[in-house]
Structure 1
Amino acid sequence: MSVDVIEVRKPGQATSLRAVWPAILGLSVVFLVEMLDNSVLNVALPTITRDLHASAADLQWITSGYSLLFGGLMIAFGSIADRYGTRRVMLIGLGLFALASLAVLAVRTPGQLVAVRAVIGVTAAMTAPGTMALCFRLFDQENLLMRATGLISSVGLVGLAVGPTVGGLVIQVLPWQALLLLNVPIAALAIACIRFGVPADDPMHRNRSPLDLPGALLGTATIILALWTATLAVEEGWGHAKPWLAGAGAVLSALGFVIRERSTAHPMFDFALLKRPSVSASLAYQAAIGLGLAVLTFSVSLQLQLVWGWSPAQAALGNLPQIVTMLAVGPFVEKFVEKIGARLAGPVGAAAVIAGLLIYGLLGRQHYAWIAAALVLTAAGMRVVMIIAAVTVMRGLPEDQTSIGAALNDTSQEVASSVGMAVTGTIVAAALVGPLTDVGTRAAATHSFENAITVATLTLTAVCAALVLWAIRRSRKG
């Protein structure tokens, strides 16, 4: 990855984070909400089941409905923001997000809660692309961009780490609806900080081409169907028709999207931009990170609980080295990049991720110390790569396409993570003869599960390594 881009500083851009602290606070809060929203509510699912008489299918849609729309609509809203104003779209999105969260007070049935969660997912997708795009509006110095990116993402990681705990404490004293009502004051704080801390949209820097609505619809359908395919593959397996039908729909939508974007005079996204080495290499790095996160997220907690008999609380503590390392490494990424250079820092970070995955795949079943070492290595490498890749992909795009660039950055990792989860789940399902609950109670089932995790981890590690090698070669052309 290369960030060797020379730009003239624009009037009003800050020379320190302290100078624009309201804006940094607002953007951090937006990212915090994105990270918190699903994890906090998951703790309340048993309570919701009793209160609304929800079925297992209802619970699935309450969680996945949000995720599918959030992930699927980011690119479309990124394109809209580039045309109508990133700050404007984010402020509108935050206002609607607060209203949608407030609507939980009217929920009386599972279907109503699914609808509320879906609207929250749509409004969250409106705000997500603007987080990085508006951050880049504040600074032009690479060190400040990395520092700001690290700080904003650190706030989100704190939310991810403490979200389930906070949610559990809240529902001990308040109704479960309070978990969504918390979004209202948080959104209000973000609106105030961004309204007064981020410069208004400059019409001269907007994308002036018409919005490609058919392209936006096809692109959204492609991502939603791809994410839904991965979800169905894990939950129902490839022996059912649903994953195949969803996958076929994703392929057809993708073909339609490519044909549309290559034939229209005003495409939603110019595919020629992917030919830029810095852009394509950074997206490949993000996809590799998504695969690595997927296999660890799926495997570690299951191994600790099913194979070793740890309680859910103990398993949560067992995963803490990953979050703690990401938080600890964040403030030092800027100095690390400054010392060895961005071209070398990216591959070094990626090498740490691959080494951690190999340790987990080959030695993770032996002792928790190996799992902890794998979590620390992968977390440190991911932190470095994610920050550098985010800065690089944004730097490689024209100013009037920064919002869709931020959306591409996030979506590439999210789609790769879903694919990784599907691959891991498929390999595990194929290896087990009985149900997953047999793991830990029958030696044969336990052995099959451990072997499947090893195969899945090494398979995804190989794909991750291939993506990294391609990204390294690609970035050298920049």
Structure 2
Amino acid sequence: MTTANAPAPVRAGRREWLALGVLVMVVLLLTIDGTVLYLAVPSLTADIDPSATQLLWIGDIYSFVLAGLLITMGNLADRIGRKRLLLIGSGAFGVASVAAAFASDPETLIAARALLGVAGATLMPSTLSIVRAMFTDAGQRTRAIAIWSAGATAGAAVGPLVGGVLLENFWWGSVFLINVPIMLLVLVAGYLLLPESRGGSEQPVDLVSSALSILAIVPLVYAVKHWVGTGFDGSVPAGAAIGLLAGWAFLRRQTRLSFPLLDVSLFRVPAFAGAVIANTLSIFAFLGLLFFFSPYLQLVREYGPLKAGLAELPSTIASLAVIVLIGVLVARLGTGRAIGAGLATGALGLAGLGLTASLPSYWGLGAFLVVLGLGIGVSMTLSTDAVVTAVPKERAGAASSIAETGYELGGALGIAVLGSIQGAVYRAELDLPAALSPADTATVRESLAAAVVTVTDDGAVTAAREAFTTAVQTTSFIAAAILAVSAVVAWRVIPSTTTETGEGHVHARTSDP
């Protein structure tokens, strides 16, 4: 859809670009917080001794809660003010970070991570909708969204590096405590620089729809995680049934409300629907990979935390390079085909990681991390741009929340599904010495991290490392296949009409089918 009758756009100045820096800082921190914990898994396991199931919940509860609340918070931001909600969320995020840093048992850490998810849900949609409100010029907005997207992608990739630096010098709780000074800076700079903006509706958020959106997301994710990770039992169909029923009721209610939480008619626009799907699948594969790739570097290749973080740096650098390449790609291919090419490139990177994981040299892994970073960076940047520019300005918060829900739900599902598959393959591939004690056998089967820390039988630890490597390879190939299919869908479904802007940047405009 286009905005041909809108007032002439006003070009952003220095204040807006400085404000963009604040917003990128927020999204960078939020995505770092989603991945920084991965490197802390070995030291965290040794300290508070979580079970394998608790470890998965520590990793994915943050994203589950974010995904469940983002639609509600995006609409709330449109109504009460995006700046106001962002500043409230920043303060809450800092408090929750302190609680997580000093958690003394798995249950407390899971609860603190859930609170971080609640606070994070107030921040994510506000950042993107404020970008849309500040940058009304099409060329500037495309560039600003590219920078915002680079922050989101780089945050997911740079998390392990930040974690490595901290864990080389401090205890595992430091990966949360670093949030506090950054959020204090955001509170001050955001208050001074960010403009306030709202949507057109003064209607209150529909609480029934909010509850239904949460019931639709969390039980479904739980059912998938439990089935793949633990096995099929009565909770799997029960969770799936609750989620599907709540999702049906939620969508039905949205079609009847004058001011819905989710405007389902948006999904009739190919650019919007295809972009949301591409965004979700990109982060599904990327975060699902990072969840087991960082432990692989530490526990199989025996890298220290800092070295493991540096080993993942090529994907970060590649995702940042996308800012330079994005205009050329859209000019040559158009939005839909460029997103499809990005997803295909990401699939190639994942397949390459699977092929090189068992090789002694790092260089193959490093090269394919570059390929993966480029592909995911392109698909995420362009899909986010397509989402927020396909709706009227007053619905920016709601549209942003849909994009972010796809991001967080994709990340949560990636961790749950790919992480659980990885664990199942690991256990299936174990070939342990016959003389190993029952206690040590149970420890090795629980996780590689527990085996490395507590088991003294070198043969058992070697077998566990080999099984873990096989599991990494299998899961990488599965993720690659998912991205390859999504690349074909994006290429064929998302429109690829392009329009040159006066700055030499390319702004993709979509038309109704």
Q: TM-score range by the shorter chain?
A: 0.7 to 0.9
Amino acid at match of 1:164: G
CA distance in 2: counterparts of 1:270 and 1:6, whole angstroms? 22
Counterpart in 2 of 1:164? 163
CA distance in 2: counterparts of 1:45 and 1:302, whole angstroms? 7
Within the candidate set 11, 23, 28, 1:14 is matched to 11
Q: CA deviation at 1:133?
A: 0.7
Pair 1:7–1:49, CA change in 2 (3 A): farther
Tell me the secondary structure at the aligned position of residue 397 of structure 1: coil
| Alignment deviations for residues 134-192 of structure 1 (CA, whole Å, 9 cap, x no partner) | 011111234322322333344452652532034326636xxx76655543432232233
Pair 1:369–1:245, CA change in 2 (3 A): farther
CA distance in 1: counterparts of 2:178 and 2:347, whole angstroms? 38
Tell me the secondary structure at the aligned position of residue 170 of structure 2: helix
CA contact (8 A) 1:326 1:383 kept: yes
Within the candidate set 321, 332, 341, 1:328 is matched to 321
Pair 1:64–1:308, CA change in 2 (3 A): closer
The total of aligned residue pairs comes to 467
Amino acid at match of 2:25: V
| Alignment deviations for residues 71-104 of structure 1 (CA, whole Å, 9 cap, x no partner) | 3211111121122222222222223334444667
CA contact (8 A) 2:63 2:411 kept: no
Amino acid at match of 1:346: I
Pair 1:297–1:47, CA change in 2 (3 A): closer
Q: CA deviation at 1:211?
A: 2.3
Q: CA deviation at 1:49?
A: 7.8
Tell me the secondary structure at the aligned position of residue 255 of structure 2: helix
Counterpart in 2 of 1:404? 398
| Alignment deviations for residues 358-394 of structure 1 (CA, whole Å, 9 cap, x no partner) | 3334565456443333221121011111111111100
CA contact (8 A) 1:226 1:415 kept: no
Name whichever of 404-413 and 388-397 sits farther off. 404-413
Counterpart in 1 of 2:330? 337
Q: CA deviation at 1:105?
A: 9.7
Counterpart in 2 of 1:347? 340
CA contact (8 A) 1:86 1:133 kept: yes
CA distance in 1: counterparts of 2:58 and 2:196, whole angstroms? 36
Pair 1:160–1:142, CA change in 2 (3 A): farther
Residue 79 in structure 1 maps to residue 79 in structure 2: no
Counterpart in 2 of 1:469? 488
Residue 257 in structure 1 maps to residue 250 in structure 2: yes
For residues 127-276 of structure 1, the aligned pairs below 5 Å read 127-155=123-151, 157=154, 160-168=159-167, 171=170, 180-202=176-198, 205-233=199-227, 236-239=229-232, 241-276=234-269
| CA-atom RMSD in angstroms | 3.8
Counterpart in 1 of 2:435? none
CA contact (8 A) 1:139 1:145 kept: yes
CA contact (8 A) 2:335 2:494 kept: no
CA distance in 2: counterparts of 1:105 and 1:293, whole angstroms? 25
For residues 92-111 of structure 1, the aligned pairs below 5 Å read 92-101=88-97
CA distance in 2: counterparts of 1:459 and 1:179, whole angstroms? 30
Structure 2 residues not aligned, in runs of 5+: 431-444, 453-457, 496-511
Within the candidate set 300, 316, 319, 2:309 is matched to 316
CA distance in 1: counterparts of 2:186 and 2:200, whole angstroms? 23
Tell me the secondary structure at the aligned position of residue 267 of structure 1: coil
CA distance in 2: counterparts of 1:358 and 1:240, whole angstroms? 33
CA contact (8 A) 1:130 1:403 kept: yes
For residues 398-437 of structure 1, the aligned pairs below 5 Å read 398-431=392-425, 432=428, 434=430, 435=445, 437=448
Structure 1 residues not aligned, in runs of 5+: none
Pair 1:342–1:55, CA change in 2 (3 A): closer
Amino acid at match of 1:125: A
Q: CA deviation at 1:349?
A: 1.9
Q: CA deviation at 1:271?
A: 0.9
CA distance in 2: counterparts of 1:115 and 1:410, whole angstroms? 22
| Alignment deviations for residues 43-81 of structure 1 (CA, whole Å, 9 cap, x no partner) | 667877898x67547766655443332232111111211
CA contact (8 A) 1:361 1:454 kept: yes
Counterpart in 1 of 2:375? 381
Pair 1:365–1:282, CA change in 2 (3 A): same
CA contact (8 A) 2:314 2:370 kept: yes
Q: CA deviation at 1:121?
A: 2.1
Within the candidate set 349, 360, 365, 1:371 is matched to 365
CA distance in 1: counterparts of 2:416 and 2:37, whole angstroms? 23
Q: CA deviation at 1:421?
A: 3.9
Tell me the secondary structure at the aligned position of residue 70 of structure 1: helix
Q: CA deviation at 1:323?
A: 1.6
CA contact (8 A) 1:170 1:178 kept: no
Pair 1:135–1:221, CA change in 2 (3 A): same
Pair 1:4–1:170, CA change in 2 (3 A): farther
Scaled by the length of structure 2, what TM-score is found? 0.77
Scaled by the length of structure 1, what TM-score is found? 0.82
CA distance in 1: counterparts of 2:489 and 2:391, whole angstroms? 20
CA contact (8 A) 1:350 1:385 kept: yes
CA contact (8 A) 2:274 2:493 kept: yes
Q: CA deviation at 1:311?
A: 5.4
Q: CA deviation at 1:4?
A: 7.2
Within the candidate set 62, 69, 88, 1:66 is matched to 62
CA contact (8 A) 1:66 1:118 kept: yes
Tell me the secondary structure at the aligned position of residue 206 of structure 1: coil
Q: CA deviation at 1:475?
A: 1.9
Name whichever of 84-93 and 148-157 sits farther off. 148-157
Identity of aligned residues (%): 26
CA distance in 2: counterparts of 1:283 and 1:196, whole angstroms? 33
Tell me the secondary structure at the aligned position of residue 286 of structure 2: helix
